[in-house]
Every structure is written in structure tokens, then in C-alpha cells.
Structure 1
Amino acid sequence: MYLKLTNPLVFFDLETTGTNIVSDRIVEYSFIKVMPGGEVINNTEKVNPERTIPLESSLIHGIYDKDVKDKPPFKAMAKELATFLKGCDLAGFNILKFDVPVLVEEFLRADVDFDISKRKLLDAQKIFHMMEKRTLTAAYKFYCNKDLVDAHSAEADTMATLEVLDAQVKKYEGQTLKDLKGNVIGTIENDVETLHQLTNENMVDLAGRFVFNEKSIEVFNFGKFKGMVVEEVLKKETGYYDWMMKGDFPMDTKRKLTEIKLRGFKR
């Protein structure tokens, strides 16, 4: 390994029941410990989350209830895992926003001390985003090989975006798009309708409070009902509609919510 180490460095990734740091649980972890001398130790296990894994999560990571029903819960593994991680720094991709907080929550629920304050945390995603900019200026340079003059002026940004999109179609036409699991989700075509479908694949409302699940049914994308079918929630939790309508949500979101509610009454 080219990276110089003074402490063991553990690269890790978690698969979970969902994306809520507080309420969701680990269903699989993989910790790969790299020792300063070069030895690599792999510790990968499935975990019983002691709750049902939502189908939309299983379709992403491929782990279903049957795969973990005979596995131990995290609390039964926590002490041994904490020992494995003792004295180690941590690394991963996007671990600062999700994996580290989820891991700490699991240890706290298991009453196992897991102090990260003295550990070094390395997030490859942050370095990636810092070094490979994802701004319009960077896109203009990458696709059009031009420097964006007067960046952040409305006209300059708009003209640059026009050129970037046109260059993207020329560059990628005929190429397939895949999700993070390698599943084909479409093909870049020189056609506005196709591009619309690819870039707005599961959008329901503009704020993203609702999205379509794998069955093209609207589900909540936030809060305690995240991942649950909107129409079913509104029927069971009759006060939730009023709460959202009185809440600080965009008018477009409230309009979509009302459309779903009224559609449910007609069935």
C-alpha cells in the first residue's frame, strides 16, 4: 500500500435497513484492516437487524430477511468488533455523513464504548470532491475544454450549460447508464424525452419529499414514514396529511400530497 501508516487503518462499509442514522440498523458490515507492515485482515459479517428489511433497501444491497434471520444481532458482536477496531483509524467512501454515525449509534445501543475522538477519519469521497470539482466551471472545462469567464453571471452560466449539455450528448450518445449495483437504467440518446426520463427517473415532487419506489408507487423520502407508500400512510395516519399541509413544506409538495390523497379516495 502506497499510503504511509503509523496505526492500523480500517476501511469499512455498512449495508443497512435504510438511510436514517437514528432508526435504521446494520444488516452487513465489512472491515478490512491494513496493518502498518502491510498485513491485510478481512472481517465481513451479516447482521440480524431485529426488524424487517424494507424491500426497497433489499433491492439495492441484495440482502433479504431470509439472509439474516439466523445471524446474530449487532449487540452480540459489538464487544468483539470493538476489540478488532481498537487503536485503528477509519477510512471509507462517504463514511463521515453516514457509516461512522450509524456505527457509533449501534455501539451506543449495545452499551459498548467506541470513542472516535482519538481516531483519524479518512473519507475518500471528500478528497474526490475536493480534487475533482463538480462545478459548472469544471464541467465546462472537461466537456468543452474552455475556461468559464464571468462565472456566476446568469448569462455566462446559462450559455456554458447549453454547451455542456450539447457536448454531453455528443460524448455519451449510445452509452448505457448503470446504477451503483451495475443494473442498466437506460441509454443516453439524442432525444429530450429520453434524457428527461433518465434525469427525473423517480421524482414525484420538486423538493424530493416523495419519490417513486421500484414499483413506480409514491413513497415518503423523509421522516418516520420514509420508504412507506404515501397513500397507505394517509389512510392509516389520518392526521399526517393535515400536519404536512400546515407545515413548512413547498406548495408543490402539498399539491402532490393532495393529488395522492384524492386519488386514494376514488379507489
Structure 2
Amino acid sequence: MAGEIFDGFRVVGFDLETTGFDIRKERIVEYALIGSDIDGTPINLQSLVYPGKRIPFEASNVHGIKDQDVRNAGAFSEHINEIAKIIDDSIIVGHNIIKFDWKILEMECVRAGVETPKPRAIIDTLVIARKLKIPGRHKLGILCNKYGIELENAHRADADAGATLILLWKIMKENPRFFRGSIDDLQDSLAGVERENSLGPGLEDLEPIPQSRGLLRKNNSEIIVAFGKYKGRSLNEINRNDPRYLNWLFSPSSPIEKVVCEKYKNSFQI
């Protein structure tokens, strides 16, 4: 399944509402991070933000947020730590996130004197829609309507973030071949970079473990993971460095067949 590309990662939809469209000077008035953690725990972080300036009528007319709504919401510097906790090492999904939301976030971090959070990957559904040449216009509302996604309270951060995440799943289901590789493969594809192979260096030559659907491969005495966060790493190495991930890998939510999970988790006393 195409969704396996995100297995083992925290995945969240991300959206901002702002005082305008100029990434150099506009400020955040609302943010939302909606998704799930590695173990499936729901994530729902959203808040208004005091922008330190008046919200223009034109902006309020789009998202409905007014000066009195954000007066006691706290400046961006009071929110960034919570934002960073979720974004760091996560897969962040947004619509036009690369050219707008992420640029705004970077500028706010500069003003606050803090480092910009470091996600594992940024996935832009606008770029994907254009790359796949999905017919019609590619505005979020239009795409949601096309894929049967309800978008109530459009232009509010939580609604847009959640809808964008669902939109990605719908597009993935419709275009599974485009999402067959790793996260790095996907990012390279969206950036127009071609890789020599889709499994990573040498992995395609390794013998697949029976009933693992090619997700585990044998390299002499080592079992190698051929997908996700630790693609190309051995089970022994993962067990040493991130036993929590190994626990997930052999759990009921793993994409690997149960019979294989049972066989190998006993070896690691999980």
C-alpha cells in the first residue's frame, strides 16, 4: 500500500493563518498541527497567536480572525517550543507549504531569535497535484471538493491542516505507484531529482524475507529493513539505537505480516 511510505513516522498536517501574504513582513495569527504520532496517538495542536500588529480587514475577511480574538493569545515566541516538539523529525504535510507557510514560520523564528524546527520531510500537496497533473485548478478547496472531502471552516488553520492530510491520503490511494519508494525518493521526485533505483543502494539485490512483502531482506546473517525511517539498516542496529521503533515494527500496526513479526520479535525479546 502507498501509505507504507509513512510507516514509523509522526505525520501531521500543518497550516497557518496570517496577517497577509508577504512572507517578509506578515505575521502568524493562528497555527494548527493535526495528525498522529508513530504509535497512532492523535495529535491536535492549534492556537491563536498575537501577531504584534493589527490584522488588516482584508485578512480578517478571509479567515475571520480579528484583533480582539488574538489580544491575549500570546506572541509567537510563547508558542514555538510546543510547535517545535511536534515538527522536529516529523513528516509535515501542507498545501502550498513550501512557498508560503514554511517561509512564514522561518521568518517568525528569525524574529524570535530561535532555530527553525527541523522536520524529517516537508510534503506539499500543491506540488504533488501539479506533479501528477491532476485535472482542474489546484486550490485546496477545489481539490477537496474533487475528492469528496468536507472542508468546513475553510481558511481556519485546523480545518485546512486536517483537510490537507486527508487530501494526501486520497491522492496516494489514487496514485500508489508515485508513492512506492521512501520519503527521500518522494522528496527527490517532487524536486525533480532522479535516483538510480527506488529501493536504495544494493537493497534490490538482497533476497526478500518470505511473507515480508519485500519490506525485510536478508544480507548474509543480517535482516535489513527496506522501507521507512530506517531503510537500509539492520534489525540489530535498530534494536541498539531505537528499540521503540523495533517494537512498532513488530506490532499489530506494522505493515509486515503477523507471522513474520512473531518470528523475529522473539529474537529480540519484544
Q: Give TM-score scaled by structure 1 length.
A: 0.47
TM-score (norm 2): 0.47
